[in-house]
Amino acid sequence: MSLRPSTLALGGLALGLAGLLATWAEAGLQAQAPDPGTPALVRELGLTDPALFTEARYTRHLALSDRHAPFQDHPLGFDHFPSASLVAPPRHD
């Protein structure tokens, strides 16, 4: 006996919804047992910044960089590094 198309379609959607619920379950399980090593290392060494952009000191330690960092070489010397284009300009309020 061949399956009706609606059985296949509804089965596929049910599978997808089960996958969606599984992502919630996975997030919930991981939230209950977070890796304790990284916060401990941050506390021990007093780290302030993720090592996402290591090409320049003001992108490596964004939180600790000079206030004038992106234009530090010359007032008109725009930034060399692509990651700075991902960083918001300062607010002028």
Partner 1 sequence: MTDWFHKQRYLIDFSLAALGRRKVRNLGLLAAYSLLVFVLASVMLFTQGLRQEAKRVLAESPEVILQRLVAGRQDLIPPGYLEQIGRIRGVQKMEARLWGYYYDPVVKANYTFMVPGERQIPSGQLVVGPALARERGLVAGNLISFRSYSGRLFTFQVAEVLPQASELMSADLVLLGAEDFRAFFDFPAGHYTDITLSVANPNEVRNVAAKLAAALPDSRPILREEVQRTYASLFDWREGMVLTVLAGALLAFAILAWDKASGLSAEERREIGILKAIGWETGDVLRMKFWEGVLISLSAFLIGYLAAWVHVFHLDGALFRPVLQGWAVLYPHFRLTPQVDGLQLATLFFFTVFPYTAAVLVPIWRAAITDPDAVMRT
Rule CB under 8 A: is residue 70 a binding residue for partner 1?
A: no
Q: Where are the alpha helices (DSSP H) in the chain?
A: 5-32, 37-45, 57-60
Amino acid present at 81: F
Is 2 among the residues that bind partner 1 (CB under 8 A)? Answer: no
Q: How far is the CB of 84 from partner 1 (least distance, A)?
A: 8
The site string for partner 1 over 73-92 (x = CB under 8 A, - otherwise) reads: -------xxxx--xxx----
26: contact with partner 1 by CB under 8 A? yes
Residue 49 vs residues 11, 28, 32: alpha-carbon distances, Å? 46, 26, 24
